[in-house]
Structure 1
Amino acid sequence: MSALPQESEKEQVKGAEVITSILSSDERKLILNEQELEEEEPAISIWAKLLRKLQVPHDGKPISVLRNPDLEPIADNERTWGFWSYFAFWGLPNFGAPSLSFGSAILSLGLNIKQAIGALVICNVLISLFTIANSNPGIKYHIGYTIDQRMIFGIYGSFFGIIVRVGLSVVQYASAAWLGGLYMNMIFSAFSKNYLYMKNTFPESIPMSRRDCIGFLCFQVIQMPLAWLKPRHSNIPSIVTCCMSGLAVVGMLAYLVNINGGPGPMWYEKVTLSTSHRCWMWIYSITIWYSGVSAAVVNQSDFSRFAKNEWSCYLGMVAGCTIPGTFVPFAGMLYASTCQKLYGKAYWRPDEIIGQWFEDEYNAKARAASFFIGLSFASCQVFMNMMQNGYPCGMDLAGIFPKYINISRGTLFMQLLSWVVQPWIFYNTTSQFLNATSSFGMFTTPIVTINVLEFYWYRKRRLPLIDFYSLSPRGAYWYYHGINWRPFFPVLVSVALCVPGLFYSVNANTNPNAGMNHFYFGYVFFIPLMSAGLYIITCYFFPDKHERKATDDPVDYFHCFNDKERKLMGMLPYTESETEIFEFLEDQERGQSSDSQSGSLSSGEVHKHVKEINS
C-alpha cells in the first residue's frame, strides 16, 4: 500500500466516517484482508529474492495468491469485441477442418445426410442457449471462467473446476495441433514432390512418419509465439482466418460437386433403423456434436468479458454457432459422398482429398490447391487451438499460481506439455480416443448447469467482486474453509452415471446395459436435469445464508465498470482519495477491539459525501 497522503488529521477522520457509512463491517474487513494479501514481505534470503524475480510482470498493479492483472475484471477501455469477433470465436471450431469429419461419426450410426443435418440444427440451437446462459458472469461482471469457479466451488474448491478444464485443454490442444501438422504438410507438399513422398526412417514401433513429425513440429513452433499475444487482441486474426477457411470450404465443395455432377450416392441413402433406435441415434448425434464444442461453452466467460455490449456478443455467438456449425459438416458429408463416386473411397479431411489429387497427377493446379487450402485450414487451426484450448488453459493455470503464472506463461507451459500427450497415437493406431471424444462434455456440462443456477437463481445476477480476491472468512465465496461442498455432489453423480456408457463406447465387445447406455447417449439433456435437480435439493436442505449473497459491491474497486454500469448497479467509482481513506481505516481497525455494523446513506447523500472527499 502507498504511504499516507499529506493532509490534516481532521480531513482523514472525516473521510473515514464517510466510507464507514458506505461500507459494512464485513466489506471493510474484506478490503483490508485483500490489501494484506498484496503486501510483500522484504526479500532478505536468496530464495526470497529469486521468488520475487520470478513473479509475473505486473507494472505496479497488485498481485497476491489470488490475484494478478490477468485475473482482474476487464476494464471498460479493453472491451473491444463486437459481433464479428464473436462470430469468429465460434466460427473457428466450426470452420475448422475437424468439423468436416463430423459426418463420418453421424453416418456410422446409421443415419443419412438429411437426418444428420436435422440433428445438427437442433444441437446448434441448444449450444447457443447454453452458451448465452453461461456467458453472463463475463458480460456483466467482466470476469472469466477461472474466477467464476470461486463462486461455485469456493476460493480453494475452485481448483476442481480449473483442473478439469486444464486436463481437457491439454488433450484437445495436442489433438488439434496434430491435425494442424497435417495441414502444414499440405503446404510443404505443394513446394516439393520429394517432401510429399518422403521416405519414413522411423521404426515401425513409432506410429507416425517422419513427414508427419515435421509438420507437427512446425505447427507447434508457429503457435508458441502466440502465447505472448493478449487474448483480447486475437479477434482480428481470428476473423481473417475464418474467412480464409470458409472460402476454402466453399471452393472445394463447388469443385467436387461440379466435377461429380451432383451430390453423390450417400445423399440418396435410406435409413433402415427402427423408430426407437433411430431416435436414440438422433440424440447421440446431438451429444457427439455438443461434446466437440463443450470446451467453448464452458469457457465462454473468458471471452464474453471482452464484449462491447451484451447483444453484439449474443448475436455473434448465435450466428457463429448456427451458420458455419451447420454448413461446414454438411459440406464435409458432400465431400465424402462425391469422393466415393469419383475415387471409390469416401474422403472426409482436406488433406486426404489433396493427397488423392496428387496421386492422380502432381501438376500446377493440384499444387496451387494444396498450398492455398492448406494455408487456410492451418491458419484457422492455429487460432482455433489458441482460443479454444491455449489461452483458456493459460488463464486456468494463472488461477492456481497467480504470483508466478500469467496467461502467457501458462499457455507456453501447456504447449510444451502437449507433446507428452503423444497425439499421433490417437490417429495412427487402434486407440479409442476418437470414440472417447464424445465424452468430453460430460465433465463440463454439470459445471455449466450449476454455474447458470447459481448466477441467475441463487445470486439473482448480483456478485460482490471484492470477495473473489480475499481469504477472509466473511467473504461470500469462503463457504467452509474456502470450499463449497454442495456442487461436488451433483457434479460427481452426473459424471459417474456417464462412466458405464463411456466404457461401452470404447469397448464394442461388451454387452451394454440399455439404460446406462441411453443415459450416456443423451447426457446433453440428462446431465442438466440431473445436476440441477440434485443441486436444488442439496441447497434446499443445506442453504447458504451468507448475508453478502445476491449483493453488489458498493464501490467499483477494480475500475472495471463504466458510468452507465455503475448507475444501474448503484455503485460508486473507486477514487484515489478512497484508497487513502482505506489506509487510514486500516490503522483505525487495528486499534479497535470490536466493530459496529454501519448505517446506510441514501444514494444522494453518498454521492454528496464522496464529492466532498474528492474535492
Structure 2
Amino acid sequence: AWLGGECVVLILRSIWPSYGTLPNTLPVSSGTNTRDFIGFIIFWTLSLIAIWFPVQKIRILFTVKSIVVPIAAVVFFIWTLVKAKGLGPVIHQPGTLKGSLHAWAWMSGIMSCISNFATLIVNNPDYTRFATRPSAVFWPQLLTIPIGFSITCFIGIIVGSSSNVIFGQPIWNPLELLGEFLDSQPSIGTRIGVFFISLAFALAQLGVNIAANSVSAGSDLTALLPKFLNIRRSGYICAVVGLIICPWNLLASSS
C-alpha cells in the first residue's frame, strides 16, 4: 500500500504542484512525512473499499488493469527514450562495475528475481486450486510469466538507464523518476503525463494488493479459523497489519 500511496502523491502533485512542498508536521522519528503519509492513507482507504467486494465482483478491476497498465508502461518507456534522445545514448553507456563488484551485482539481480517469483509461487495455490484441469494452470503460467516478466524487466532497465542520460544519475524507482520529471519540468504536458501514468500504476498496485495480499491472507486465515473468519474479514485483518507494521520504515531500511 505504501507504493500505491507514492502513486497518489504523484497524482496530487500533478493536480496541485504546491502539494509537493506540503509542510511536514510529523516528527523525524516517524520515518515519514505528512505529504507521503496522506497519500498512503488515501490509498489504504481505497484498498479497504475494494476488499469489501468478493473477488468475482471486482473482476472488472483486473480487466481494466490488464489493459491500462501495459499501455501506461509503454508510454512511460517511449517518453523516457524521447527525453534521452533515443535508445542509442542509453544502451551505449559504459559499464561502471568491475571484478567482484560486477559478479555480486549479478547475484543480487538473480536473487531479486527469485524473491519476486517466490511470492507468486506461494500465492498461486490460492487461485490454482479452483482450476478444473492441470493444463488450465500450467500453460497460462508457462507462457505469460516468462514473457511478462521479461518485457517488464526490459522496460524497467531501459527506463532506469535513460534517467542516467537525462539527469546524470540512474533512478531505478519509476515513481522517483516521475517525481523528477515534475521537479525538473513542471509543464502542463508533464503534469498530464505523470498524472495518467501514476493513476495507472496506482491501479496496478491496488490490483496487486487485492490479489497477492488480501485474497491470499484471506484464504489462509479462513482455513485456519473457518468458524470465525472469511476472506473479507481476513482481508481487513491483513490491511490493519499492513498499517501497524509501518511499511515506510521497512522500505527505508531495505537494501
Tell me which structure has the larger Cα radius of gyration: 1
Q: Which one of 201, 204, 212 corresponds to residue 388 of structure 1?
A: 212
Distance 1:413 1:372, change over 3 A: same
What is the alpha-carbon distance in structure 1 between the residues aligned to residue 69 and residue 92 of structure 2?
A: 24
Note the C-alpha offset of 1:308: 5.3
What is the alpha-carbon distance in structure 2 between the residues aligned to residue 283 and residue 197 of structure 1?
A: 39
Equivalent pair of 1:232/1:306 in contact (CA under 8 Å)? no
Deviations 1:65-97 (A, max 9, x none): xxxxxxxxxxxxxxxxxxxxxxxxxxxxxxxxx
Equivalent pair of 2:213/2:238 in contact (CA under 8 Å)? no
Note the C-alpha offset of 1:283: 5.0
1:289 equivalenced with 2:109 (yes/no): no
Q: Which one of 206, 209, 212 corresponds to residue 30 of structure 2?
A: 206
Give 2:224's aligned residue.
400
Does 1 or 2 have the higher relative contact order (CA < 8 Å, sep 6+)?
2
Note the C-alpha offset of 1:301: 1.7
1:273 equivalenced with 2:99 (yes/no): yes
Distance 1:355 1:287, change over 3 A: closer
Q: Which one of 56, 61, 64 corresponds to residue 237 of structure 1?
A: 61
Deviations 1:571-611 (A, max 9, x none): xxxxxxxxxxxxxxxxxxxxxxxxxxxxxxxxxxxxxxxxx
Q: Which one of 86, 108, 111 corresponds to residue 262 of structure 1?
A: 86
Distance 1:232 1:273, change over 3 A: farther
Give 1:313's aligned residue.
137
1:333 equivalenced with 2:161 (yes/no): no
What is the alpha-carbon distance in structure 2 between the residues aligned to residue 387 and residue 423 of structure 1?
A: 19
Deviates most, 317-326 or 416-425 = 317-326
Give 1:185's aligned residue.
9
| Pairing of 1:74-473 with structure 2 (within 5 A) | 177-263=1-87, 264-265=89-90, 267-270=92-95, 272-273=98-99, 278=103, 282=106, 284-307=108-131, 309-428=133-252, 431=253, 434-435=254-255
Name the Cα RMSD after superposition. 2.3
Aligned length: 253
What is the alpha-carbon distance in structure 2 between the residues aligned to residue 235 and residue 311 of structure 1?
A: 22
Does the residue aligned with 1:205 lie in a helix, a strand or coil? helix
Deviations 1:212-237 (A, max 9, x none): 01110011100112223223444442
Return the TM-score normalized by structure 1: 0.39
What is the alpha-carbon distance in structure 1 between the residues aligned to residue 52 and residue 133 of structure 2?
A: 26
Note the C-alpha offset of 1:388: 0.8
Name the structure with the higher helix share: 2
Equivalent pair of 2:84/2:90 in contact (CA under 8 Å)? no
What is the alpha-carbon distance in structure 1 between the residues aligned to residue 177 and residue 120 of structure 2?
A: 29
Distance 1:193 1:253, change over 3 A: same
Equivalent pair of 1:180/1:382 in contact (CA under 8 Å)? yes
Note the C-alpha offset of 1:417: 1.7
Does the residue aligned with 2:30 lie in a helix, a strand or coil? coil
> Which amino acid in 2 is paired with 1:206?
S
Return the TM-score normalized by structure 2: 0.89
Deviations 1:30-88 (A, max 9, x none): xxxxxxxxxxxxxxxxxxxxxxxxxxxxxxxxxxxxxxxxxxxxxxxxxxxxxxxxxxx
> Which amino acid in 2 is paired with 1:359?
D
| Pairing of 1:30-49 with structure 2 (within 5 A) | none
> Which amino acid in 2 is paired with 1:320?
T
State the identity %.
26
